Amino acid sequence: MDKIAVLIPCYNESKTIGKVVKDFKKALPEAKIYVYDNNSDDGTDTIAREAGAVVKYEYQQGKGNVIRRMFRDIDAECYIMTDGDDTYPAEFSVEMVNKVITKNVDMVVGDRLSSTYFEENKRPFHNLGNNLVRKTINRLFKSNIKDIMTGYRAFSYQFVKTFPVLSKGFEIETEMSIHAVDKNMFVENVVIEYRDRPEGSESKLNTYTDGIKVLRTILKLYKNYKPFHFFSIVAFILFLISMGFFLPVFISFLNTGVVEKMPTLIVSGFTMLAAIQALFAGLILNTINQKNKQDFEQELQNTAINFKYVKDMR
């Protein structure tokens, strides 16, 4: 088991990866640097190896797939995750590591948005998207994470070994944030400086397609993690639709004593039944979700025991 593992997922970052590895070796001399190459064709792996990193490979394309492989492969007391594009200064990793090791923080978020991100980032839709995602998640999940989509984070062993990676691409940061909040993990923010990519280095993030994927991920995880809230909203909308069909028929009946629009009344009844079904589905799924949280707490205890065993064997 490593004391500190720096995890760097990479796809065609030959212009910056050498500097990133050297910066982290200087900031965290006791850390082991892992670069996971994700089908690069520009010599990223060779440059990283020459800079002193341990190079491994993940052949399923996508950042989420790379992180899944990293979390399975590497055992460490503390993990630092960063990008290979030299946008995250290495010196902030010292404070992030200290929070994990000395305060038992489960996830430390490198907060770009409270610092230089909006000045450095030249892509206005990225800025809009980051703000939208942050406000949406903090409101839906009643959290206070300052930067949902940052790629600069520190993790505890327990977080890494109990986090179920489902996303394949750039939605992974959103998934991490929601998982930590829902499972009541200890999360802290560290304000970091952000610098835009150097000239010649291109972002792999597509503003529109990846943005849509992130929003879909938020909706899916909200349904999974807050089923009663989600299905209560669905039930309320169906209730309003049902009443919209029913009231004109009912008013007409009071005036004439005759149900003039029987098909509308039938549609209203079926819509109301759907609303009731949605409400009970939310209640049932919420009970299952509570049981899953209890099982997760037991899994955390087992992971803590395993951590102590692996640490003692080091």
Question: Could you tell me the residue ranges of all domains in the chain?
Answer: 2-224, 227-313
Give tens-digit pLDDT for 236-295.
Answer: 999 999 999 999 999 998 888 888 889 999 999 999 999 999 999 999 999 999 998 888
**Global pTM value:** 0.81
Residue burial 119-131, b: 16+ Cβ < 10 Å; e: rest: eebeeeebeebbe
The Cβ of residue 52 has, within 10 Å, a number of other Cβ atoms equal to 14
- Residue range 129-156: mean pLDDT, rounded: 87
Nearest by Cα to 141 from 85, 209, 223: 223
Rg from Cα positions in the chain: 24
- Residue range 29-43: mean pLDDT, rounded: 95
- Residue range 29-51: mean pLDDT, rounded: 96
CATH architecture of 2-224: Alpha-Beta Complex (3.90)
The Cβ of residue 31 has, within 10 Å, a number of other Cβ atoms equal to 21
Q: What pLDDT was estimated at residue 205?
A: 65
127 confidence band (pLDDT: 50, 70, 90): low
The answer to whether residues 58 and 87 touch, using CB atoms and an 8 Å cutoff, is no
Angle formed at CA 97 by CA 174 and CA 184, multiple of 5 degrees: 45
Per-residue pLDDT at 302 exceeds 80: yes
- Residue range 163-185: mean pLDDT, rounded: 89
Residue burial 92-104, b: 16+ Cβ < 10 Å; e: rest: bbeebbebbeeee
Per-residue pLDDT at 99 exceeds 90: yes
Distances 200 to 14, 170, 196 between C-alpha atoms, Å: 10, 21, 11
Cα separation, 250 vs 245, whole angstroms: 9
Per-residue pLDDT at 314 exceeds 80: no
Give tens-digit pLDDT for 110-120.
Answer: 998 888 676 66
Cα separation, 150 vs 173, whole angstroms: 7
Q: What pLDDT was estimated at residue 51?
A: 95
